[in-house]
Chain A
Amino acid sequence: MADAVRIGIGGPVGSGKTRLIECLLPLMVEAGLRAAVITNDLVTLEDAERVRRSGLIDPELVVGVETGACPHTAIREDPSANLDRAERLEREHGPLDVILIESGGDNLAATFTADLVDYWMYVIDTAAGDDIPRKRGLGVIQADLLIVNKIDLAQYVGADLDRMRSDVAEVRPARPSLFTNLADGESAAAVFGELQHAVLFDRREGR
């Protein structure tokens, strides 16, 4: 039944989660992977609409899920609503290779449960403060992949990238992290490479 690899994307509001999805989708298409997207917008279906309109994916493969004003709960304590949608996507539109699940933006304490996803990434924003890694939020520490995004903005906000790199290395001694600029989309290839290596290795073209 659950055939698709489910990948969670968490992180504070505006850190670049939807942008990451927009960057990954073309790379997935190119690799012959069939992807679907679930977004957990807090109030509106804004993100779902944005991904649908992007032209990067069949609009039917993008769904928004309401979380009763509890974005954390929907990815951790009780992922029922997201599981329902993931299972329905596979039933109605399968077979799928990947389902990307974007959590509603939140503070640094959110984590994904393994009941919902096989792998999860946490996206933080360089411009929101270069001390974020040092705060040891659960998302920053536990995510399978940490993405420190918007490094292009570091110079404008006086963020010290070297310090961020050493803080990240300290709080995540055994897990991978990537520093990205998703505005031009270039770093997305590195993220996709990491996903291929970690969870998509057995998915091949032409399934």
Chain B
Amino acid sequence: MSTSDDLAFLAALQLADSAMPIGRFVHSHGMESWLADKPNATECEITVLVHDVVAASVAPLDGVILAHAHAARTVEAICALDRALTARKLTPPARAASHSSGRRLAAIAPKLSADELIRGYAHAVLDGDADGNIAVVEGVLGRALGLSVRHTVLLELRGVVAGLLSAAVRLGRLTPTEGQLAMRALAPGLAEAASRALRESLDGMFSAALTVDIHALRHHRSETRFFAT
């Protein structure tokens, strides 16, 4: 392994680390409400739900945008992708989760890399001229830190899976070990979903995770909740 591969690998680990302070842990992406509705959900059913969210929503939408953001070479092009993603996020909580974590990462990104594009785009986000969807920020930052587009997409998908599973663990519905076993079981599905996201054009993007979208909306109106979404 060359030094630059090592640095990219370490950058990937850092971006995936829950120590990165971008507020991922306050979002359950509908998981809290889904679990409340299914008091007897098994480990297997939870794993299937997480797989469906990634395969039917995150990969074909955020994953596709991320891949294009990774390839984009102007701040204008990146901001256009950012707007396109916001427009396709169906629910207010989905937009809120994507924007709040993305903006936090945009605030840190220019301190992690001197790359001109990430600086220019982060500036636009912090000035309120761009939405700062997390997938877009990760795409631009991933390239700046030397990650391949494939690895950056995988990083994004893994982040969503980790968030959903961690919410289930914190709500006492999976043990931490079960959470890790589910993460491992989902790995081949993540790789496949990433491959599809990399093949997809912007016109072919879609998001169709109705079950969690409905639960995210229900959660949005709930009076008692641990998670922001």
Contacts and interface: CB of A to CB of B under 8 A. Distances in A.
Interface of A: 42-45, 65-70, 73-74, 77-81, 83-84, 115
Contacts of A65: 26, 228
24 contacts: A43-B224, A43-B225, A44-B223, A45-B223, A66-B225, A66-B227, A67-B226, A68-B27, A68-B28, A68-B167, A68-B170, A68-B228, A69-B170, A73-B25, A74-B26, A77-B21, A78-B19, A78-B21, A78-B22, A78-B23, A78-B24, A80-B26, A80-B104, A84-B103
A42 B103 CA distance: 24
Nearest to B19: A77
Given A44-B223, A66-B228, A70-B170, A81 B21 contact: no
Given A74-B26, A80-B23, A69 B171 contact: yes
Contacts of A77: 19, 21
Contacts, number: 60
A45 B25 CA distance: 18
A81 B26 contact: yes
Of the candidates B101, B167, B171, B228, the one having the most CB atoms from chain A within 10 angstroms of its own CB is B228
Counting chain B residues whose Cβ lies within 8 A of the other chain, the interface size class is 20 to 34
Contacts of A73: 25
Nearest to A84: B100
Contacts of A84: 23, 100, 103-104
B6 to A, nearest CB: 26
B226 A68 contact: yes
Given A78-B25, A81-B23, A69 B100 contact: no
Contacts of A42: 226
Contact of B226 (A43, A78, A79, A115): A43
A115 B167 CA distance: 25
A79 B223 contact: no
B26 A115 contact: no
Nearest to B25: A68
Contacts of A80: 21-23, 26, 100-101, 104
A74 B21 CA distance: 10
A45 B19 CA distance: 27
A207 to B, nearest CB: 25
Nearest to A80: B23
A45 B228 CA distance: 12
Contacts of B100: 80-81, 84
B104 A66 contact: no
Nearest to B225: A66
A83 B100 CA distance: 10
A165 to B, nearest CB: 38
A68 B153 CA distance: 25
Which of B25, B100, B103, B228 has its CB near the most chain A CB atoms (within 10 A)? B25
A81 B223 CA distance: 18
A94 to B, nearest CB: 15
A78 B163 CA distance: 14
A192 B15 CA distance: 41
